[in-house]
Amino acid sequence: MLGVNYKLAELEEKGKNINLGIVGAGQMGMGMVSQVMLMKGIRPAVVSDIDLDRAFNAYINAGIKSDDIAKVSTIAEANEKMEQGKYIVTDNSEIASKANLVDVAIDATGVPEVGAKIALDAIDNKKHIVMLNVETDVCIGPLLKKLADNAGVVYTGSAGDEPGAVKELYDFADAAGFDVKVIGKGKNNKVDLDCNPDTVLEEATRRGVSPHMLASFKDGTKTMVELTCMSNATGFVPDIRGAHGAEAKVNELTSVLSLKEEGGVLNKYGVVEYIKGVAPGVFVIISSKLDTVKAEMKYLSMGDGPNYVLYRPYHLASLETPLSAVKAVLDHQSTIVPMGAPVSEVITIAKKDLKAGQNLDGIGGYTVYGTIELAKTAKKINAVPLGLINKKTVLKKNVKKGEVITYEMVDLDESSLIFQLRKLQDRFF
């Protein structure tokens, strides 16, 4: 991100702005709008949410006067009001991807089906797309990247989200010539595979967050999604299904995340992992084959080796997201994207005993959770990617708690856009 501040200042001096179309005015979207108002050369031009009041308040909380905000429902209205310099509030998500003056669409919904539509609309309309919706990316990201490339626009994950923060560390270490052995993130709560929106309701209400979102964090699904995104962007793989999830402090990372024969938990290097105890940080573990470099690392207080940890103690999530939009517009570069064919998948696991004829729900729900698995293994066992599961998914047979949901077990919602795009992706890769 070196020099971005000067580029944005130059834009502002010229009276120009990068216009963002933001979908989702929950916690992430709300914070993003406020942060953008503090930046030069960039503008939260459109905020879309199914709750119009929430979208409106995102602007008010950012210090924008109500007279400067226009509520619209059509693209034509949005185009007219944006030409007048108004900030746009709408419940029509298409405006964020299709309005004339929008440069970058940002999906902050976390809903796979919604993310699929926003991304496709943006690409079809020659807009860059920033996905603060990793749930969509791990299901159809390779295809969306291919479509964006063909359209001449940037498809990218978000700076500040843990995968993006990890990728910045990884790129630095790789560029500097280090041997990267492990990449990963911290987790601030113990995995509870049995939790659901009801069991977390009190905490969610207290914290002012969605119960479904909190459940997806607590049952580990969100972490699995993030690890899969990291995997698909680097080629690093899960050491075991679901990763180890060991506990460690920062100064213990290199010993815990070493090979079993070295006293650690790993069967191999080149893996993605999560650790209980270093949240909200992200890390990469590196080494060097040269004694001169090892001596320099010791001199620089990086430890005795042979492995060293590069640790970033924070990730600012949506507050950093605008920087990915800037990078896309000004440099035509992404923050984090799939390398090609999926390396890993988030497969679907039964959260409890389920009966034939029962409808499933999806991420952060009552019936299933997600876990990371090698893509080739997921394909071999015919596992259903979690992003394809929604409330229209119907079980065709009884399933035991902890069992992998396979294609033979369910009738999926084949009318959904994400299903159609995943079907296309499977043909390409």
| Domains in the chain, number | 3
Report if residue 332 sits inside a domain: no
Same domain, 149 and 197: no
Report if residue 329 sits inside a domain: no
The answer to whether 308 and 194 are in contact (CB under 8 A) is no
**What is the average pLDDT score of the chain?**
97
| pLDDT tens figures, 253-312 | 999 999 999 999 999 999 999 999 999 999 999 999 999 999 999 999 999 999 999 999
Among 158, 182, 214, identify where a domain stops: 158
Q: Are strands 237-238 and 128-131 parallel, antiparallel or unpaired?
A: unpaired
CA 53 remoteness from chain centre: 26
Domain that holds residue 252: 162-314
3-state helix, strand, coil in the chain (%, to 5): 40, 20, 40
For tokens 């626009």, name the residue.
Answer: 153
First to last CA, the chain: 32
Same domain, 182 and 95: no
Same domain, 184 and 208: yes
The answer to whether 143 and 425 are in contact (CB under 8 A) is yes
Same domain, 122 and 183: no
**What integer is the mean pLDDT of 342-347?**
98
Q: How many CB atoms lie within 10 A of CB 144?
A: 25
According to DSSP H, which parts of 235-374 are helical? Answer: 253-256, 291-299, 321-331
Q: Measured between alpha carbons, how far is 183 from 178 in angstroms, rounded to an integer? A: 13
Same domain, 171 and 151: no
The beta strands (E) that lie in 33-154 are given as 42-48, 69-71, 87-90, 104-107, 128-131
Report if residue 36 sits inside a domain: yes
pTM score, whole prediction: 0.96
Q: Output DSSP code: residue 79.
A: H
| pLDDT tens figures, 138-193 | 999 999 999 999 999 999 999 999 999 999 999 999 999 999 999 999 998 889 99
Among 271, 292, 314, identify where a domain stops: 314
H or E element in which residue 271 lies: strand 271-276
Same domain, 118 and 192: no
Same domain, 277 and 174: yes
Q: Measured between alpha carbons, how far is 284 from 274 in angstroms, rounded to an integer? A: 11
For tokens 């911290």, name the residue.
Answer: 186
Same domain, 43 and 81: yes
Q: How many CB atoms lie within 10 A of CB 332?
A: 11
- CATH number for 90: 3.40.50.720
